[in-house]
Amino acid sequence: MGTFRDSMDIRALRFAVVFPLLLAGGFVVCAQLLRNSLPEPVAVMWNSDGGSSFAPFGAYVSGGAALITLVGWIAFFQAVPVSRPVIMRRVLMGMGLLVSLFVTAVLAAGLVGQSGAVDARSTHVDPVILAMGSGAAVALSVVMMMAFKPDPRWTREDDQALETAALLAADPDLARDSLRMWVHARSSVFIMIIVAAVFPAVLIAVALPWLGALLVVAALVGAGFLFARVRADRGGLQVFAGGIVRVLTVPAVDIAAAAPTDVKAADYGGWGWRHHDDATAMLVSSGPAVVVRKLNGRRVALSAGTAAAADNLAGILNRAAERAHRGGEPGQPGSR
């Protein structure tokens, strides 16, 4: 029993069991209210001319209640196992509600469409009930997806958060010595890329689609190098062009000093990832940057976005270098 409880969201399980039963019970009660105005037998299938297959009222109601219960259980139970991702479970719970309410709406529309008729062969499914029930099923399923909160369980992310909290408790300065940020070129630069590359590509694509597509891909790659993700901590510095491709890695033990400064991209060979004389640069624009001087005499230049961010980044790298030179940390970027 303990293993079962550990693998299942008990609150979701209770809802999955009880809700279809209540929905089926409500359908039976409402069907009984219409009993005196329905023909005997009632239609269970229809074509363009009217009812085509028939069954006794009791069979229709009991079979419909059983179908609502069975379909609801099958659909809702998919959201019960805690091994599934949280987002998936929320979607599955909403889909369970959608399916249950839709089946109920179809069955109810079939009965209401026959209300007042003498012969079920001349009846059709009530379109108003079907439309209203289907709309309510969709709306309520979305509400369920947003409102359902899966039963919390300890996960790998919780282990990582606990480890991070323990490290911060043992070393309060650790958070001050860690920085994650994005830098990018000015919006006018991306507008220029669109005007200079994408618009001509559309015109070229009329005659040579492959050449137009190639020009668009080249423009996207070039624009990607005007974004950079920066990671700095006690291990050193890492820079990822486009947020994906690592183009710079500077271990803390290799850093002599870091200084915030205003740079001109032309002095380092231009925008993007560049090697120029004794420097390697990842500059997305001219302006605030950090210039790192390495022990081997080479330099690394990196855009920082704002002067405050440049000051913060330079301070982290200088403290990381001082700590690494004292032997306090292994000099690998990303390590703690």
What tokens does 306 get?
């704002």
Assess contact for 53 and 45: CB atoms under 8 A: yes
Kindly provide the residue ranges of all beta strands, DSSP E only, lying in 48-207, ordered along the sequence: 50-55, 179-184
- What pLDDT was estimated at residue 336? 46
- What pLDDT was estimated at residue 155? 61
**Plot region of 297 (φ>0 → left; ψ -120 to 50 → alpha; else → beta):** left
- What pLDDT was estimated at residue 151? 62
Q: Is 107 helix (H, G, I), strand (E, B) or coil?
A: helix
Task: Map out the domains of the chain with their CATH numbers.
Answer: 2-147 (no CATH), 168-185+226-325 (2.30.29.30)
* Per-residue pLDDT tens digits for 221-280: 877 778 888 888 888 888 888 878 888 888 888 888 888 888 888 888 877 788 877 888
- Which stretch of DSSP H or E encloses residue 290? strand 287-294
Q: Is 112 helix (H, G, I), strand (E, B) or coil?
A: helix
Q: Return the percentage of the chain with pLDDT > 90, whole number.
A: 14
pLDDT(111) > 60 = yes
The residue among 268, 323, 266 whose CA lies nearest residue 291 is: 268
Cα distance between residue 275 and residue 296, in whole Å: 16
Identify the residue whose tokens are 């059709």: 124
pLDDT(163) > 90 = no
Q: Which of 46-60, 66-80, 239-253, 304-318 has the highest mean pLDDT?
A: 66-80
What tokens does 87 get?
């987002």
Which residues 6+ apart lie within 8 Å of 36 measured at CB? none
Whether this model's pTM surpasses 0.75? no
Identify the residue whose tokens are 């693998």: 7
DSSP state of 328: S
* Per-residue pLDDT tens digits for 167-210: 667 666 666 777 888 888 877 777 887 777 777 887 887 788 88
pLDDT(1) > 60 = no
Alpha-carbon 333 to chain mean position: 28
Cα distance between residue 48 and residue 296, in whole Å: 86
